[in-house]
C-alpha cells in the first residue's frame, strides 16, 4: 500500500526556446507578486488545457491542468480566468503565443503545457509567460515520472510557477500527517493518516484500536513521531512512513510521555514526560539514549518546538499561573517569557523561516490561531472560532494548517488552512473528521 | 483516470449517544484497553461491592476550570474511597484524569495527569498503598457529556477511580 515513489528521474530538462524579440518599448513591470504586504487583488492567470497526443495522455493532461490551476488559485494570490473567456486556444506547445489575445482578457500570467504518457511513464512540459511583457518568465521545464505520481508532477509544475511569480519557495508538492477521526465525541476513534497537502491520496498509518494524538513529521518527511495509547497509557512512538513500522520510544520511570517533536537534524526528539502529575520537557536520541531533562518546574511544560537552526526551543508553561509561551536554549536552562497579551497561549510552532512563532490563543471563550515574532512582538491573530488549535507551517512558512472543532454534541474536527496574512481561510477536504495536522517538507 | 481518489466528505453520519452516562463501571478503562477486571459489580447496597464504591460512595470527583485542587466535597468522597480501598484489599484502582474541551490537546493531557495525581496523592495520604494506585490521563479525549457548555464541562473535568481486580502485592 505504502508505495512511494522516487519518480522525478529527470527533473530539470530545459527546453529550447525560440527567442522572440519582444517590442521592448512597451515592456511593462515584470510579473511579480510580493506576498508580504496586502495582496488583496489576486493575479489573473490563464491555463489552457495542456496539449497531448490524445488517448490516455489527454485524460492525464486534463487532470494535471486542473490540479495546477487548483494549486495556484488555492493560494488566494491568483485567480483563474475561465476558459470560456479565452479568445484563442493553445493547440501546439511550440506554437508562438498570441499575447494580444491573452492581454485582451487581462491574463497577466499564462501557463501552457504538454503531457505525454507512454508505458507507465508520464512526461509533462510547461512554460510560464509574462503576458504583458510579451515574454516567457523563466525557461520551459520538463518533469517525468510514473503515471501513479501524476499529482506530484502537477504540484511540481505549480510550485515552479508560484516560485517564479512570488520569489518564494513553493509548498504544493508536500504531504500532511494528521489524525483521522470517526465516531461521536465521547467514543471517538482516531488513527494516523497521511495525505497530499490538498487532501488527495489519503493513506492510513495506524488502525483505530488505540487513541493517537498530535503527529509530527521528521525534517525529511520519512518518519513520524506521535503519541499513542497503544500500551494502555500515552507514550511516544516513532513510525517509518514507507514501511509503516513503528517503535515505542520507551522512557523508564515515566508515567506518560507525549508531545514529541524532531530536532532539525532529525536525530533526536524533544518531548514532555509526566511523573507524579508533573510534566516537564526532556530530550533524547531517537534510539532512546542520552535522556536529558530540559525543564525542572512544578508547573506544566509541554508543546516544545525547535528553532530551525536547532539552537532554541519555544514551549508552553503555566508557571505564571496560566499557559504562556517561553523560549529557552535547546540545552535547557533559563527561559524567557514571550507572550503577554490577555488570555492563554499554547502549542507554539517555530516557522521554518525562523522569523515567526505560530500559536493557539484562548481568550474569553474563543480560540485563535496567531503568529508573533520570536521575541513575542507584533502578535497578530489570524482566525477566531469556538475551537481552533494546533497550527502547523507550510514548508515555505507562508501558510498555516490547523484543526477547527465545531461546537456542541455533534461537534467534529476538520482541517483548515490560512495564509499568514490572515486571508484565504480554507477547509482542507478529508474523507472523515480530522485533527492535529502536521505539514511535512517539500518533497524531492 | 480511474485511479483518481476523490475525497468525499462524511456528512452528518456521526451517531450520537445519550449525554448522560453515569456509573459506567469499568467503561472508561475498558474503552481504552486499560485492563479493567471483568467481574460483577454487585449491588449498591452491598458495602463490599464495586457497585457500592461506584455509586454509593462515588467513583469520581470534579474540578474547577484549569484546576487540580481538591474541593472539600471531593476530599469527602476521596476519604470514603480510601476507607473502602483499605477494607477491600482485593481491588486496586486506576485513576483517570480528564479535562473539558476548552483547552489545547497536549496541555489538557498534562492537566488530566495533574488531576489524577492529586487524587492518587490524597488516597495514599489516607493510607492506601501506592502499589495499588495507578494514574492515566485522557486529557480532553474522553468526555462523558458532549454538549459545549458548562453543564457538560463540569461533568468532564473529573478524576475517576476505576476499580480493577487484584489487590496489594499483585
Contacts with B, A 223-282, CB within 8 Å: 227, 229, 232-234, 255-256, 258-259, 272, 274, 276-279
Per CATH, the number for A174-442 is: 2.120.10.30
Q: Are B138 and B156 within 8 A, CB to CB?
A: no
CA distances from A132 to A20, A85, B163 (A): 14, 18, 75
Mean pLDDT (chain A, rounded): 92
Q: Name every residue whose Cβ is closer than 8 Å to that of residue A442 and which is 6 or more positions away in sequence.
A: A159, A169, A170, A171, A173, A174, A395, A396
B11 close contact with A: CB closer than 8 A: no
Mean pLDDT is lowest, of A146-160, A336-350, B6-20, for B6-20
Per-residue pLDDT, B38: 40
Contacts of B119 in chain A (CB under 8 A): none
Helix H, strand E, coil C: the string for chain B is: CCCCCCCCCCCCCCCCCCCCCCCCCCHHHHHCCCCCCCCCCCCCCCCCCHHHHHHHHHCEEECCCCCCCCCHHHHHHHHHHHHHHHHCCCEEEEEEEECCCCCCHHHHHHHHHHHHHHHHHHHHHCCCCHHHEEEEEEECCCCCCCCCCHHHHHHHCEEEEEEEECCCCC
Q: Considering the domain boundaries, does residue B139 fall inside one?
A: yes
Q: Name every residue whose Cβ is closer than 8 Å to that of residue A211 and which is 6 or more positions away in sequence.
A: A190, A228, A229, A234, B32, B141
Q: How confident is the model at residue A225 (pLDDT cuts 50, 70, 90)?
A: very high
Beta strands across the sheet bearing A324-329: A301-306, A312-317, A324-329, A332-337
Q: How confident is the model at residue A250 (pLDDT cuts 50, 70, 90)?
A: confident
Contacts with B, A 392-421, CB within 8 Å: 405, 407-412
Q: Does the beta-carbon distance from A346 to B9 stay under 8 Å?
A: no
* pLDDT at residue A138 tops 80: yes
Query: Sign of torsion, CA B91 B97 B98 B104?
Result: negative
Q: Considering the domain boundaries, does residue B22 fall inside one?
A: no
Q: Are A306 and A312 within 8 A, CB to CB?
A: yes
Closest CA of chain B from A31, distance in Å: 34
A347 close contact with B: CB closer than 8 A: yes
* pLDDT at residue A39 tops 90: no
A106: helix, coil or strand? coil
Q: Considering the domain boundaries, does residue B10 fall inside one?
A: no
Q: Are A260 and A274 within 8 A, CB to CB?
A: no
The number of domains in chain B is: 1
Q: CA-to-CA distance for A277 and B36, rounded, in angstroms?
A: 22
A58 close contact with B: CB closer than 8 A: no
Contacts with A, B 115-134, CB within 8 Å: 115-118, 120-121
Nearest CA in chain B to A233: B136
> Mean of the pLDDT values across residues A378-389?
97
Per CATH, the number for A24-166 is: 3.40.50.10070
Q: Considering the domain boundaries, does residue B21 fall inside one?
A: no
* pLDDT at residue A52 tops 80: yes
Q: How confident is the model at residue B19 (pLDDT cuts 50, 70, 90)?
A: very low
Nearest by CB to residue B101, choosing from A213, A387, A390, is A387
Q: What's the full length of chain A, in residues? A: 444
> Mean of the pLDDT values across residues A327-333?
97
DSSP A51: B
Of residues A371, A382, A394, A349, the one with CA closest to residue A159: A394
Q: Are A257 and A235 within 8 A, CB to CB?
A: yes
Nearest by CB to residue A316, choosing from B31, B107, B117, is B107
Q: What's the full length of chain B, in residues? A: 170
Q: CA-to-CA distance for A238 and A158, rounded, in angstroms?
A: 32
CA distances from A428 to A213, A385, A403, A415, B111 (A): 19, 16, 10, 5, 30
Pairing between strand A43-46 and A109-118? parallel
Helix (H) or strand (E) holding A158: helix A150-166
Chain A, chain B: beta-carbon pairs less than 8 Å apart: 151
B15 close contact with A: CB closer than 8 A: yes
Mean pLDDT is lowest, of A266-280, A339-353, B14-28, B38-52, for B14-28
Nearest CA in chain A to B19: A409
> Mean of the pLDDT values across residues B27-41?
43
Closest CA of chain A from B46, distance in Å: 30
- For residue A167, count other CB atoms closer than 10 A to its CB: 11
> Mean of the pLDDT values across residues B133-154?
96
> Mean of the pLDDT values across residues B22-43?
45
Highest mean pLDDT among A32-41, A284-293, B81-90: B81-90
Interface test with A, best of B10, B103, B109, B159 (most A CBs within 10 A): B109
> Mean of the pLDDT values across residues A218-227?
98
Contacts of B34 in chain A (CB under 8 A): 232-233
DSSP A60-74: HHHHHHHHHHHHHHH
Contacts with B, A 72-131, CB within 8 Å: none
Per-residue pLDDT, A38: 60
Q: CA-to-CA distance for A307 and A331, rounded, in angstroms?
A: 13
Q: CA-to-CA distance for B37 and B167, rounded, in angstroms?
A: 11
Per-residue pLDDT, B170: 39
Q: Are A108 and A45 within 8 A, CB to CB?
A: yes
Q: Considering the domain boundaries, does residue B128 fall inside one?
A: yes
Nearest by CB to residue A186, choosing from B9, B137, B142, is B142
Q: Considering the domain boundaries, does residue B132 fall inside one?
A: yes
Per-residue pLDDT, A253: 76
* pLDDT at residue B85 tops 80: yes
Closest CA of chain A from B29, distance in Å: 9
Q: Are A438 and A392 within 8 A, CB to CB?
A: yes
Q: Does the beta-carbon distance from A316 to B116 stay under 8 Å?
A: no
Q: How confident is the model at residue A228 (pLDDT cuts 50, 70, 90)?
A: very high
Q: Does the beta-carbon distance from A431 to B10 stay under 8 Å?
A: yes
Tell me which of A275 and B29 has the higher pLDDT: A275
* pLDDT at residue B159 tops 50: yes
A302 close contact with B: CB closer than 8 A: yes
> Mean of the pLDDT values across residues B19-28?
36
Mean pLDDT is lowest, of A19-33, A281-295, A316-330, B72-86, for A19-33
Q: Are A71 and A171 within 8 A, CB to CB?
A: no
Nearest by CB to residue B113, choosing from A59, A202, A277, is A277
Q: Name every residue whose Cβ is closer than 8 Å to that of residue A293 and which is 6 or more positions away in sequence.
A: A280, A281, A282, A332
Segments of chain A assigned to CATH 2.120.10.30: 174-442
Share of chain A above pLDDT 70, in %: 92
Pairing between strand A413-419 and A399-405? antiparallel
Of residues A240, A250, A298, A242, the one with CA closest to residue A271: A250
Segments of chain A assigned to CATH 3.40.50.10070: 24-166
Q: CA-to-CA distance for A140 and A125, rounded, in angstroms?
A: 7
User: In this structure, what CATH number is given to the domain that contains residue B63?
Assistant: 3.30.1330.60
Q: Does the beta-carbon distance from B148 to A409 stay under 8 Å?
A: yes
Closest CA of chain A from B60, distance in Å: 17
Closest CA of chain A from B52, distance in Å: 25
Contacts of A273 in chain B (CB under 8 A): none
Closest CA of chain B from A117, distance in Å: 12
Q: Considering the domain boundaries, does residue B34 fall inside one?
A: no
Q: How confident is the model at residue A13 (pLDDT cuts 50, 70, 90)?
A: very low
Per-residue pLDDT, A41: 87
CA distances from A77 to A37, A69, A162, B30 (A): 12, 12, 9, 50
**Domain coverage including residue B84:** 44-165
Q: How confident is the model at residue A28 (pLDDT cuts 50, 70, 90)?
A: low
Nearest CA in chain A to B15: A184
Amino acid at each position: 500500500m505504502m508505495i512511494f515513489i522516487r519518480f522525478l528521474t529527470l527533473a530539470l530538462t530545459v527546453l529550447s526556446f525560440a527567442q522572440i524579440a519582444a517590442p521592448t518599448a512597451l515592456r511593462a513591470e515584470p510579473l511579480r507578486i510580493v506576498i508580504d504586504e496586502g495582496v488583496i487583488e489576486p493575479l489573473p492567470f490563464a491555463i489552457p488545457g495542456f496539449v497531448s497526443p490524445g488517448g490516455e495522455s489527454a485524460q492525464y493532461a486534463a487532470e494535471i491542468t486542473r490540479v495546477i490551476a487548483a494549486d495556484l488559485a488555492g493560494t488566494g494570490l491568483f485567480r483563474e480566468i475561465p476558459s470560456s473567456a479565452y479568445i484563442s486556444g493553445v493547440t501546439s506547445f511550440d506554437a508562438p503565443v498570441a499575447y494580444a489575445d491573452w492581454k485582451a482578457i487581462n491574463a497577466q500570467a499564462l501557463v501552457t503545457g504538454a503531457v505525454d504518457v507512454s508505458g507507465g511513464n508520464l512526461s509533462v512540459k510547461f512554460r510560464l509567460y509574462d503576458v504583458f511583457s510579451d515574454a516567457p518568465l523563466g525557461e520551459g521545464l520538463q518533469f517525468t515520472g510514473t503515471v501513479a505520481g501524476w499529482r506530484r508532477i502537477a504540484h511540481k509544475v505549480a510550485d515552479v510557477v508560484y516560485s517564479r511569480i512570488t520569489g518564494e519557495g513553493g509548498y504544493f508538492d508536500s504531504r500532511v500527517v494528521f489524525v483521522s477521526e470517526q465516531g461521536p465525541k465521547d467514543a471517538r476513534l482516531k488513527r494516523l493518516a497521511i495525505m497530499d497537502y490538498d487532501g488527495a491520496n489519503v493513506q492510513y498509518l495506524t488502525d483505530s484500536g488505540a487513541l493517537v494524538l498530535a503527529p509530527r513529521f521528521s525534517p525529511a518527511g520519512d518518519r513520524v513521531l506521535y503519541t499513542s495509547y497503544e500500551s494502555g497509557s500515552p507514550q511516544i512512538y516513532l513510525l517509518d512512513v514507507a514501511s509503516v513500522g513503528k517503535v515505542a520510544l520507551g522512557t523508564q520511570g515515566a508515567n506518560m510521555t507525549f508531545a514529541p517533536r524532531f530536532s532539525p537534524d532529525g536525530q533526536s526528539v524533544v518531548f514532555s514526560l509526566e511523573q507524579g502529575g508533573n510534566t516537564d520537557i526532556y530530550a533524547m536520541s531517537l534510539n532512546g539514549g542520552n535522556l536529558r531533562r530540559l525543564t525542572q518546574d512544578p508547573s506544566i511544560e509541554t508543546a516544545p518546538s525547535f528553532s530551525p537552526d536547532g539552537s532554541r526551543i519555544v514551549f508552553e508553561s503555566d508557571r505564571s499561573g496560566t499557559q504562556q509561551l517561553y523560549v529557552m536554549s535547546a540545552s535547557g536552562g533559563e527561559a524567557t517569557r514571550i507572550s503577554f497579551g490577555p488570555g492563554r497561549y499554547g502549542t507554539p510552532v517555530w516557522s521554518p523561516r525562523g522569523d515567526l512563532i505560530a500559536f493557539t490563543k484562548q481568550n474569553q471563550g474563543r480560540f485563535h490561531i496567531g503568529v508573533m515574532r520570536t521575541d513575542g512582538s507584533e502578535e497578530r491573530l489570524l482566525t477566531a472560532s469556538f475551537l481552533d488549535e494546533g497550527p502547523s507551517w507550510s514548508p515555505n512558512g507562508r501558510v498555516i494548517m490547523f484543526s477547527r472543532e465545531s461546537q456542541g454534541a455533534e461537534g467534529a474536527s476538520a482541517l483548515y488552512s490560512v495564509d499568514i496574512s490572515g486571508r484565504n481561510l480554507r477547509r482542507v477536504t478529508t474523507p472523515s473528521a480530522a485533527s492535529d495536522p502536521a505539514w511535512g517538507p517539500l518533497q524531492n | 483516470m480511474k485511479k483518481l481518489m476523490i475525497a468525499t466528505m462524511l456528512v452528518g453520519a456521526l451517531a450520537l449517544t445519550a449525554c448522560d452516562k453515569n456509573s459506567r463501571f469499568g467503561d472508561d478503562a475498558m474503552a481504552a484497553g486499560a485492563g479493567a477486571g471483568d467481574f460483577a459489580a454487585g449491588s449498591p447496597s452491598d458495602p463490599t461491592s464495586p457497585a457500592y464504591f461506584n455509586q454509593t460512595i462515588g467513583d469520581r470527583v470534579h474540578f474547577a476550570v484549569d484546576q487540580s485542587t481538591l474541593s472539600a466535597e471531593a476530599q469527602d468522597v476521596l476519604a470514603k474511597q480510601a476507607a473502602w480501598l483499605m477494607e477491600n484489599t482485593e481491588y486496586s484502582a486506576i485513576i483517570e484524569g480528564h479535562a473539558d474541551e476548552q483547552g489545547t490537546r497536549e496541555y489538557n493531557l498534562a492537566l488530566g495527569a495533574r488531576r489524577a495525581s492529586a487524587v492518587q496523592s490524597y488516597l495514599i495520604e489516607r493510607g492506601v498503598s501506592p502499589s495499588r494506585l495507578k494514574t492515566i490521563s485522557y486529557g480532553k479525549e474522553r468526555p462523558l457529556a458532549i454538549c459545549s457548555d458548562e453543564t457538560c464541562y463540569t461533568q468532564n473535568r473529573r478524576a475517576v477511580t476505576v476499580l480493577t481486580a487484584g489487590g496489594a502485592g499483585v
